[in-house]
Amino acid sequence: MLQIAVAAALVAVLAGLAQAVTGFGFAMVSIPLLALWSDSRLAIVAITMLAAFLTLVAGIRERRHVQWRTMRLVTVAGVVGMPVGLLALKLASVRTLSLLIGGMVLVSVVILARGLRLEPRTSSTLAAGWLSGALLTSTGMNGPPLVATFQAMRLTPHTFRATLQAAFFVQDMFAIAGFVIIGQLSTHALVAAAAGVPGVLVGWFLGDRVFRLISPRLFRWLVLLLMTATGCVALAQAA
């Protein structure tokens, strides 16, 4: 358990830094890495709890930049999609989950690198929200559909980051409730989440300063490279 706690703290610093600079990437960086010291189910649950803490702090701090209507749409749709992901989490083997996580990370890299933009209509926003909820409870990664949607809306960097954090937080809280219902909230997951809290704070603190000092575009590409590496690690672990 000590090994998992230490790993969670270190991984949280790296993932928190990525999230602060780009607005996304926390789960996609941290889940494959934490799964190396635990298993995929534990990593998904622990990182979702950590993400809820991070996005709560960030959302409160930047609430004046949130586009509330969009946040409500993707959140409601996400909650509707969560039972599908919970069923997959409950029934899939650890190896299958690792394959899903690695594959999702690499697909996300392609989507984000190519700058895929969904048409900014209510129907596409709801579809992205539904998919993000299903992905959150099955792989812990609800970011790519929302990032693609928000990119299409051409939000300012602060509005983009703030709206993502608010949507992530509400979805994370519903996902945690779902994990409790299906019996996935273990003591080890709670320990890993608690150990990661200081790392999240350090990572966000450092990332927030990087956000002001260097080009977010440059760091975005660094995050994508890191995500590629973690996705490959997850696939190798499953193999």
CA 178 → CA 39, 48, 87, 229, 230, distances in Å?
19, 11, 10, 30, 26
CA distance 93 to 166: 31
CA distance 30 to 62: 23
The set of residues, in sequence order, having a beta carbon less than 8 Å from that of 76 and lying 6+ positions away, is: 129
At residue 216, the pLDDT reads 64
Average of per-residue pLDDT across 26-35: 87
At residue 217, the pLDDT reads 72
CA 11 → CA 16, 37, 71, 165, distances in Å?
8, 11, 28, 19
CA distance 150 to 183: 33
| For residue 115, pLDDT beyond 70 | no
pLDDT digits (tens, 9 = 90+) for 223-234: 677 778 777 877
Q: Which structure tokens are listed for 160? A: 């983009």
Q: What's the one-letter identity of residue 98?
A: S
Closest CA to 180 of 80, 78, 51, 89: 89
Q: Which residue has the tokens 């609800």?
A: 142
Closest CA to 23 of 217, 237, 230, 234: 217
Range among 69-73, 93-97, 122-126, 152-156 rated most confident: 69-73
- Place 119 in a pLDDT band, splitting at 50, 70 and 90: low
Residue 186 φ/ψ, nearest 5 degrees: -90, 165
| For residue 24, pLDDT beyond 80 | no
| For residue 165, pLDDT beyond 80 | yes
Q: What does pLDDT average to over the chain? A: 85
Q: Which structure tokens are listed for 137? A: 């409870």
Average of per-residue pLDDT across 2-31: 85
At residue 59, the pLDDT reads 83
CA distance 196 to 215: 27
Instruction: Give the whole-number percent of the chain exceeding pLDDT 70.
Output: 94
Q: Which structure tokens are listed for 87? A: 């069923």
**How many Cβ atoms sit within 10 Å of the Cβ of residue 231?**
22
Number of domains in the chain: 1
| For residue 152, pLDDT beyond 80 | no
At residue 116, the pLDDT reads 64
Residue 158 φ/ψ, nearest 5 degrees: -70, -40
At residue 37, the pLDDT reads 86
Residue 62: domain span: 2-238
At residue 94, the pLDDT reads 78
pLDDT digits (tens, 9 = 90+) for 172-189: 999 999 999 999 999 999
CA 68 → CA 60, 73, 117, 159, 186, distances in Å?
13, 9, 20, 10, 33
pLDDT digits (tens, 9 = 90+) for 34-80: 988 888 899 999 999 999 998 898 888 888 999 999 999 999 999 99
**How many Cβ atoms sit within 10 Å of the Cβ of residue 115?**
10
At residue 104, the pLDDT reads 79
